[in-house]
Amino acid sequence: MHTGRIGHPSLLPDGLVPVAPSPVTAKGRVFTHDGPKDFVTPTELSEAEIRQTIADFADAARNAIDAGFDGVEIHGANGYLVHQFLAPNTNRRTDSWGGDTEGRIRFAVEVTRAVVEEIGSERVGLRISPGNRYNDIAEDQPAEVYEALLAELAGLDLAYLHLMEGPDRELTARLRKTWPGTFILNPFTYPEVTGPEALALVEDGAADMVAFGALFLANPDLPARLAVGGPFNTPDAATFYGGDHRGYTDYPTLGA
């Protein structure tokens, strides 16, 4: 992954600043070593820098495989760099990396192709979150862009597509129909965490697999708990995103 504009110079070496498709400052704050700080205005990536960043994704994938990982998931969601190219409020470019639908999906497509060429399609997944407003993203009508993206990637035979769903279940169904391969769904259950009842989405064909987030944090042995129907620890949101061992190593396992 690459966070793009979601960062801060204090987190980067040698005076570097965050980069993005366009110099649009994100609303909000980022965690730093000195506490939360406002996001800064990112530097707009040049053509040469975009090409280098695509190569960096491929290099990172190769490093992961060489280190012993089975594969990689490209993070194209949650308002980070790939998502910033897809969204109209963060990509205001008028060159071939922005503008129309073809331009906005180009970075995501080329990153995915480069990673596939480097390590093989069977080792590559892609995560997207259409319409997700996290990190100050605005995609009021995401269907056209994401259907075009999936149509463009369909021939790459990726290991899977991982969709972090928003409140639009109709869009999920459309993208499910568009995607020819394995479809992993992290269903929209806000404000509740995704629970074991989400497994019914596999039974009714809405997805091939279901992804769990917060429930897995609170239940490191989640597969075993799902197999026997629980019980399930309740996630403690106060311990998310940093701190000490609490919420990290102290959730009890079955029989503990």
- Catalytic positions are 80
Report helix angle 101-119 to 143-153, nearest 10: 30
**What are 192's two structure tokens?**
């509740």
Residue pointed to by tokens 């980069």 = 19
Q: Which amino acid is at 256?
A: A
CA torsion angle 21 23 26 29 (round to 10): 110
**What are 13's two structure tokens?**
């070496």
Work out the number of other CB atoms within 10 angstroms of the CB of residue 92: 14
What is the H or E stretch that residue 72 is in?
strand 72-76
Q: In this structure, what are the phi and psi dihedrals at residue 30, rounded to the nearest 5 degrees?
A: -120, 145
